[in-house]
Chains A and B, each alone.
Chain A
Amino acid sequence: MFFTLLLNKRLNSTIQQSILIDIKLIEECRGGNFNNFRKLVELTTPFAYSVAFRMLGNEEQAKDVVQETMVTIWQKLKKIKTAEVYKTWIYRVVVNKCYDQMRKRKRNPEFIADELTWALIANKVSEGASEALENSETSKIISLLTERLSPKQKAVFVLSDLEGMSNDKISEITGISKSAVKANLYHARKSISERVEKYI
């Protein structure tokens, strides 16, 4: 009997499709089937990229994180207890890789907030934009809004408000307690809200 995991994937900015990852595929990869792993990479990459991109606000860094995540998955896939925990585990690996990337970036900060970005957000918000943003726009907005957040706050904000996960799930992924998730989310929302109120 095969179980399936439901993963969300967007092929473009407006159309949303649901992706089914066959548990059998995961089990085969766990057994060391290298050829089937390509299929798993293909299915996992989009949502791993989504989380990484939203946490880092940078396309290139998000791609690096996804690559590193996939390599780690292959190396440690055998260590997960069951295939059912695959999705949670993937998120945990991505979030941890993003933490590493943020630590590196902290030493070399590259994003400088400017008035143009705030103007862009203000325009989009006031227009009530029905069209989704370009990657570059999303990148700028996320960087600007989350630049003052700690890595944990960023992770909680992205997983909760952008990826739509429950606090229990976030706690499981990030390894922090539920009360800490709530506290981090509160501070993240407050910080972002203050910036939005101040500049837009």
Chain B
Amino acid sequence: MKPESEKYNKVVNLLRESKPVLVSSDDIEREVMNRLKRVHHSGLYLSEVVDFLFGWVYIGWVRRSLIAASIVLVFVFIYQQSIILKRIDVLSRQAVIIDKENVVTPSVEIERLLTVYKNSGGRFPSKTITISERQIKELMESVNELQIKYKELEELIEGDPELKKLIEKKLIEYNRLRINL
């Protein structure tokens, strides 16, 4: 298919016949020679240095390779960023949960929840009791401390029969009061 028409041919012929006329060719020659003299006398061909350093960018296959490499790098960067963002998102969610535990379940609240759990015979849904590692550690320490004190007290009572009798008597009275209540 030939796209060019008669009018097109006329216009192109007109342009072909009208060769551009260079009126001031002497000026161009003079300017070129002056520029070259300046370069010639300076001793250092800056453009040659630039060409030597960066001339390789004009090689077709190097340019295409660089373009391909830059596109690959951009995609790798985007992929990496998306993974990082995803991980940050996951981490931030975890941090929120820990924070929530600290804020929502202070030690008083945990005691209350434990009491409820104990009284309900373990039927209390465990998911609703959320405590942090630090709070569990505190709980374990206090339980241990309590056990040691209990043992010491037991030894003390065993070693003193009068004290034992007195305590047994007091306990009976206490239990009786509780039943009465």
User: Which residues of A are in contact with B by a Cβ distance under 8 Å?
Assistant: 10, 12-13, 16, 34, 37-38, 41-42, 45-46, 49-50, 53-54, 59, 62-63, 66-67, 70-72, 74-75, 121, 124-125, 128-129, 132-133, 135, 137-138, 141-142, 145, 161-162, 164, 175, 186, 189-190, 192-194, 196-197, 200
Chain B nearest CB, measured from A71 CB (Å) = 6
Chain A nearest CB, measured from B23 CB (Å) = 8
B48 contacts which chain A residues (CB < 8 A)? 75
Is B160 at the interface (CB under 8 A from chain A)? no
Chain B: number of interface residues, binned into ranges: 20 to 34
Q: Are B20 and A45 in contact (CB under 8 A)?
A: no
Q: Are A71 and B8 in contact (CB under 8 A)?
A: no
A62 to B47, CA, bound (A): 21
User: Which residues of B are in contact with A by a Cβ distance under 8 Å?
Assistant: 3-5, 7-8, 10-12, 14-22, 24-25, 28-29, 31-33, 35-36, 39-40, 45, 47-48, 60
A16 contacts which chain B residues (CB < 8 A)? 19
Q: Which of A34, A54, A125, A161 contacts B20 (CB 8 A)?
A: A54
Q: Are B36 and A37 in contact (CB under 8 A)?
A: yes
A72 to B58, CA, bound (A): 15
Most chain A beta-carbon contacts within 10 A, residue among B4, B18, B35, B48: B18
Q: Which residue of A lies closest to B27 (CB)?
A: A63
A197 to B10, CA, bound (A): 12
Q: Are A135 and B21 in contact (CB under 8 A)?
A: yes
Q: Are B14 and A133 in contact (CB under 8 A)?
A: yes
Chain A nearest CB, measured from B14 CB (Å) = 6
Q: Are A38 and B15 in contact (CB under 8 A)?
A: no
A71 to B5, CA, bound (A): 41
